[in-house]
Amino acid sequence: MKIVAWRIETENKHDFTYYVQVSDIARQKLIQICKLFKGWNQVGVGWNEKHKYASTFIYARNFRSERSWTSWANNFPYMVQEPAVD
């Protein structure tokens, strides 16, 4: 399973909206992932044609601050990758 996150830049510099993409989810982990993202908005789904189930999800959520985002990511039970911005 691979988890990548990125911040959506808006004109409002106090807006901390993050998207998290969870991909290559094994079938037995689907329910766990859905529970972990309870309270998030599901904004995308990817289908695994070979195995005939959804194996990629994209979620979005607003945070009060960058610090609250970092706290969430550090306490998440899986490693969350956040690509470096140039």
Identify the residue with better confidence: 1 or 84.
1
Nearest CA to 3 out of 50, 61, 55 is that of: 55
Identify the residue with better confidence: 12 or 61.
61
Q: What pLDDT, on a 0 to 100 scale, did the predictor assign at position 52?
A: 72
Q: Rounded to the nearest 5°, which phi and psi values hold at 3? A: -125, 120
8-state DSSP, 65: S
Summarize pLDDT for 31-76 with one digit per residue, the tens: 999 999 999 999 999 887 776 777 899 999 999 999 999 999 999 9
Nearest CA to 8 out of 77, 85, 71 is that of: 85
User: β-strand 16-23 against 41-48: which pairing, if any?
Assistant: unpaired
Mean pLDDT, residues 1-19:
89
Q: What pLDDT, on a 0 to 100 scale, did the predictor assign at position 51?
A: 67
